[in-house]
Amino acid sequence: MKKPAGTSKNSGKKSELAKRRQAPLATPSDISTEGTRDISGALNRLLADVFALYLKTKNFHWHISGPHFRDYHLLLDEQATEIFAMTDPIAERIRKLGGTTLRSIGHISRTQRLLDNDAEYVQPLDMLAELQEDNKSLTAFMREVHDICDEHRDIATASLIENWIDETEQRTWFLFETSRRGDPTGH
């Protein structure tokens, strides 16, 4: 006996597919709705922290002063470039999963966990120490996101994070070694 139209498993799948085609920003993924929500939320927090660290690193790059100006200035510019390079892949990963990303500077400031530094002047070695701690915090945040990715079997995001952890640990190492010499003023 033939089943009436619309009662098969395939018609249910077709109906779901038609809904997704109509939904803007609802990128299809094999990751569950809960997984998309959890991973996207964690990645958005990470993205906010990456933007905050990028801007702080550029701020210190622009306002460094002292006899080691050139070395510190170039180091911080190099690190800022590396940090900024993470932003688009993080945001695009969120979109690939079907999530939505941060939309404004206000959204970043409400979401970031790393603290801003708006001080008029910061001693060079204090800058390096603060950035070292922020990079260590960023590494810890990435490990948390990696755990969430593992929980939802998101291998692609976990793989990206593994590379970023390595880069962030290198920045931390360079900041540590660079700040070991001299007195508190960086001389």
Tens of pLDDT, residue by residue over 25-64, are 778 888 999 999 999 999 999 999 999 999 999 999 999 9
What residue ranges do the domains of the chain occupy? 40-179
The answer on pLDDT for 14 being more than 70 is yes
Number of H helices, E strands in the chain: 7, 0
Tens of pLDDT, residue by residue over 97-114, are 999 999 999 999 999 999
- Measured CA to CA, the distance from residue 172 to residue 169 in angstroms comes to 5
Tens of pLDDT, residue by residue over 110-157, are 999 999 999 999 999 999 999 999 999 999 999 999 999 999 999 999
* Domain spanning 40-179, CATH class: mainly alpha
Place of tokens 């970031």: 112
**Tell me, what's the pLDDT at 19?**
66
The answer on pLDDT for 10 being more than 80 is no
